[in-house]
Amino acid sequence: MSNPTLTAEIREALLTSMFVDEVVQVRTTPAEGAPDVVGVRVALTNVDDLYSLPPVIAELRQLVREAAGGVEAVFIEPDVTAPQRETVTTEAIVFPSWD
């Protein structure tokens, strides 16, 4: 079971990054003292291309390590399945028929 206080601290730390649009999920492993493993799923923004992703992931790992203390491993999963926030009109996706 994840520690709710630690989860909130990690979420808050990640939201300070200009690359994080939303923290979708945070999980920590129970342990005595510091957690062993932290897993995070985040919706990213301001990432122009795939080559920009490794430094962003490294920054997010560092933010988690600072918030979680002596964590053994940090897993960052960029979320690409979150729904788009933009409203799309029906006319944009439906082709009118010709009779």
pLDDT band at 95 (very low <50, low <70, confident <90, very high): low
Whether residue 42 is contained in a domain is answered as yes
The count of structural domains within the chain is 1
Q: Which residues contact 5 (CB under 8 A, 6 or more apart)?
A: none
Predicted confidence band of residue 15 (pLDDT cuts 50, 70, 90): very high
Please state the pTM of the whole predicted model.
0.74
Alpha helices in the chain (DSSP H): 4-14, 53-68
Instruction: Specify the CATH number for the domain of residue 68.
Output: 3.30.70.1350
Please report whether residue 17 resides in a domain: yes
For residue 72, tell me if it sits in a domain.
Answer: yes
98 falls within a domain = no
Domain membership flag for residue 99: no
Look-up of token digits 């979420």: 11
Q: Which domain holds residue 15?
A: 4-92
Residue 37 · residue 71 · CB < 8 Å: yes
60-78 confidence digits (pLDDT tens): 999 999 998 878 889 999 9
